[in-house]
Amino acid sequence: MGYVSLGFSMLGTACVLDSKKSVNAFDEIPKRPSEEQINAWIRILGDGRIKVLTGKMELGQGIRIAVAQVAAEELNTNIDLVEVNLAETGVTANEGYTAGSRSIEASAMSIRNAAACAREILKELAAKKLKIDKDRLDLKDGFILNEEQKFSFFEILDGQQIERNLKIPPEFKAKASRKIVGQPIKRKDISQMVVGKHTFIQDLRFPGMLHARIIRPPSYTSKLKSINENAFSGKEGFLKLVKIGDFLGVISEEEFQAVQLQREIFANTQWETGAPLPADKDLKTYIKNLAAEVAVEEQRGDWEKALKSASIQHKASYFKPYIMHAANGPSCAVAIYKDEKLKLWTHSQGVYPLRETLAPLLEMPQENIHIIGTPGSGCYGHNAADDVAAEVALLAKNYPGKHIRLQWMRDEEHAWEPYGTPMAFEMEAGLTPEGKIAGWKYDFWSDVHSTRPGGNPDNLLPARYLGKSYKKPAGGFKGGALRNSVPYYEIADLQTQSHIFSGPLRRSALRSLGAFGNIFAIESFMDELAYKAGKDSIQFRINHSSDTRSIECLEKLQQKINSVKKSKNQGVGVAFSRYKNSSSYCAVAALVEVSEESEVLVKKMWAVIDAGECINPDGLKNQTEGGMIQAASWTIKEKVLFSDQHIISLDWNSYPIFRFPETPECEVEVIDRVEQPPLGAGESAQGPAGAAVVNAIFDATGIRVRDLPVKDQLAKEINKK
C-alpha cells in the first residue's frame, strides 16, 4: 500500500550565473526525498511547468531531452513545459555514476515510472475533487480536463508535491499511443552551443570570483624539496599560496594573473626526481611481462582438443596503446567555502560518489557539502573532472568566503588526466573444412579500466601530494577489462583468460572501457578467420550466430554496402558486437582509402543499431555517429607518448585527433523495437568501428594492421611487403 503526505521542498539551482543570492547568503543544503517517492523524480511547478529530476549528468549524450520525452509522454504534456534538473546532491536521486550506457536504462525508466504514477494520482485526486469517475478525465499540457472544466496540476495538488511511493502503473503511454517518445525531437542545447549561449562549467562566473592554478610537479612521484616564496609573494594579483605537503595552489584576483603566478612559482621550486617511466621499452612487450593477476574468465568444452583436430589453424596478436579522453574543454570546477559548508560546481560523472570522497579528504561531514552537476565541454569517461573538483575544494577551504574558479591548462589536461589503459591480445582458433570455428583461445593483458574515487580519496590526484595517508592510488575496477572479452558467437569449445597488471601511467574509465580493445581484437580475428575459410565476412558471422537480432543487424548492414563501388586503393571492412554481450547490438562498416604515402582516409561509415525501444532516434543516431568517428580516430591516430619522467603528448600536435576534413560521412539505421526495453547505446559503436576500419585497410591493401595506432604501423607493414 502506498501513502500520501504533503510537504514543501526546496530545490537548488543547477547553473547560477551572477546570482546575488549565491554570494550574499549561503543556501541551506537541501535534503532529497526518498527515491521510492514520486517527488524524487517529478515535481509540479506553480507556473504550469514540470520539473524532472535525474541523478545522471549531461555528457553530450542528450539525457536531458530523453528524460523530458518520457515524462512528457506519460503526462501528455508539451515537452516545452518540461525542464530537467541534472545531478545535484540533496536534490536529485543518488544514481551513482553516469557511466556504462545506463542513463536511459536506469534514470529515464525511473522517471517514466514516476510520471506514469503521477498521472494516475492526479486523475484520482481530480476525480475526488470533482466527484466524477476518473475515466472521464484527460491530461493535457499541465491541466486535467473534463467536458466542462480544467484545473492545473498545481491546483489539483493545492500547491503541494506528490509524495506517494512509486508503484507499477496500469499503463505506459509510450508503449501504447507513443506521440513524443520515438520522435527525433531536437536538443535545445545544440542551438545554444552554436551561438555561444549554452553554459558549460568552463563558462560559470560569479561576482567577485577569484581564480586559481595548481603548481604541478615534474613527474608522478616527484617530491617538493624547497620553494622561494619571496620571489612571487608581492606579485600583482597574488592573494595566497596554499601549501599542503607537496600540494601547491595559488589564488589570485584575475585568471591570467593565476597563470603567470603558476609559472613564476614553478620556476622558484625545487623537486626531487621521481621514479622513471619505461619510455625506452616496447609497451606491448613490457605490459605482457609485468606481474599480473591471471584468471580464466570463460571456459566451454575442450578448446585444445577441438583446435588440434581443426583442418585450419590460425594465430594472431593485437595491441592498443594508452589513449586520452582528450576533452575539448580542460577540466574545471568552481567552489565556495563558508560557515563550514562547501558548495561546488563540477562536471563530475558522479556528484554523490564525489561528495562521499571529498568528505574524508576535506575532513568534513558529507551533509555540509553541496555539489551541483554542471556539464563540461566535451568528454566521455572519467577524465580529470573529479581531480579538479578536489583541488578547488582544498583551495576554497583554505580561502573562505569567495567563489574560486580553477581550470586546468591544455598541457595539464593532456599530462595529468587518467588515460584509457593499453591492452595486448593473443588469439588462436581452428576451422573445420565447412568453415566453422573449432576451438578458440583468447588471452588478453589489461590494466584496470576504472579508478573512479567512489569514496576512496586515494584515487584523487591531489591526495597523493597532501602528505597524509593517501599516497598510492587504489587498484580499480577489473570488470571493465573483461567487457566483451567473450565473443558473442556460437563457439562450442572456448577459453578466455585475463592477465590484469598495474601499468606505469594513470588510468581510468574511457568510453566503452575494455570493450573497444576486446572487440577490435576479436572482430579483426573473425575477419581473418573468414578470409582463411574463404567465406564472406558478414555471412561468416551470421553462420556463427543464433540471435535473430544480431542476424538482422548484419543483414541490414549487408544491404547498405552491397552497392558500394570501390576505387583504386579503397576497401570496405565490417565488424559487429553486442555491447557487454547484454546491451545494444551494433554492426558497422567502413570505406577507407589508403594513399601511396600510407595515409588512411575513412571515406564513409555505416552502422545498424538495435537498442531496443528507441526514445529519440536523432539522439541515438548522434551517439552512434560520434562513437564511430571517435573510435576511427583512436584507431588511426591516437597514442599517448611519454618520456622517462612524464607525459610528452601535451597538445593537439603531439596527440593528434581527427580534424574536420578527416571526419567521414556517417549513415546510421536504427532498428526500433517498441515492445522491448530500451538498452544503453552510448558505447556500442566504438569496438566494431575500430575493427571495421582495420578490416577495410586489409581489403584495400592486403595488409593486416594488428597494432594501433594504424599510422604507426601501416608504413612499416607496407615496407615489409
Same fold: 20-181 with 207-273+325-416: yes
Q: Which CATH class is domain 207-273+325-416?
A: alpha beta
Report CA dihedral (128, 133, 136, 142) to the nearest 10 degrees.
Answer: 20
User: 171 with 76: CB under 8 angstroms?
Assistant: no
Residue 315 pairs with which residues in a beta bridge?
428
What percent of the chain is helix, strand and coil (3-state, nearest 5)?
A: 35, 25, 45
CA atoms within 13 A on the CB side of 422: 24
In SS3 terms, 597-633 reads as: CCCEEEEEEEEEEECCCCCCHHHHHHHHHHHHHHHHH
Domain covering 20-181 in this structure, CATH number: 3.30.365.10
Question: Rounded to whole angstroms, how far apart are CA atoms 189 and 117?
Answer: 29
Residue 19's pLDDT is what? 36
Q: Which three cell numbers stand for residue 113?
A: 515510472
Domain covering 290-323+419-720 in this structure, CATH number: 3.30.365.10
User: Among positive and negative, which fits the CA dihedral 220, 222, 223, 228?
Assistant: negative
User: 462 with 274: CB under 8 angstroms?
Assistant: no
Residues contacting residue 303 through CB under 8 Å, at least 6 positions apart: 439, 440, 441, 493, 494, 495
Residue 375's pLDDT is what? 93
Residue 26's pLDDT is what? 62
Question: Rounded to whole angstroms, how far apart are CA atoms 14 and 196?
Answer: 18
Q: What is the CA radius of gyration of the chain?
A: 27
Question: Rounded to whole angstroms, how far apart are CA atoms 250 and 404?
Answer: 11
User: Among positive and negative, which fits the CA dihedral 496, 501, 505, 506?
Assistant: positive
Q: Is the peptide bond before 678 cis (omega within 30 degrees of 0)?
A: no
By C-alpha distance, which of 414, 426, 443 is closest to 505? 414
Residue 299's pLDDT is what? 97
Give 268-285 pLDDT, tens digit per residue. 999 999 899 999 999 999
- Expressed in angstroms, the distance from the first to the final Cα of the chain is 74
| Strands of 247-252's sheet in order across | 238-244, 247-252, 210-214, 404-407, 332-338, 341-346, 369-373
Which string of DSSP letters, residue by residue, matches 672-719?
Answer: --TTSPP---TTSSHHHHHHHHHHHHHHHHS----BS-HHHHHHHHHH
By C-alpha distance, which of 358, 260, 319, 376 is closest to 634? 319
By C-alpha distance, which of 174, 41, 182 is closest to 110? 41
Residue 461's pLDDT is what? 95
Question: Rounded to whole angstroms, how far apart are CA atoms 636 and 592?
Answer: 11
Residue 17's pLDDT is what? 46
Looking up cell 609497451, which residue turns up? 283
Enumerate residue ranges in the chain where pLDDT < 50: 1-25, 471
Q: Which helix (H) or strand (E) holds 567?
A: none
Over the range 596-624, which residues count as b (16 or more CB within 10 Å of their CB) and which as e? eebebebbbbbbbbbbbbbbbbbbbbbbb
Residue 188's pLDDT is what? 85
Give 37-63 pLDDT, tens digit per residue. 999 999 999 998 999 999 999 888 889
Question: Rounded to whole angstroms, how far apart are CA atoms 71 and 82?
Answer: 8
Burial of 684 (0-12, 13-18, 19+ CB in 10 A): buried
By C-alpha distance, which of 460, 350, 455, 374 is closest to 102? 350
In the chain, where the domains are located: 20-181, 207-273+325-416, 290-323+419-720
Which string of DSSP letters, residue by residue, matches 348-397?
Answer: -S-HHHHHHHHHHHHT--GGGEEEEE---SS--BS-SHHHHHHHHHHHHH
Question: Rounded to whole angstroms, how far apart are CA atoms 642 and 713?
Answer: 19
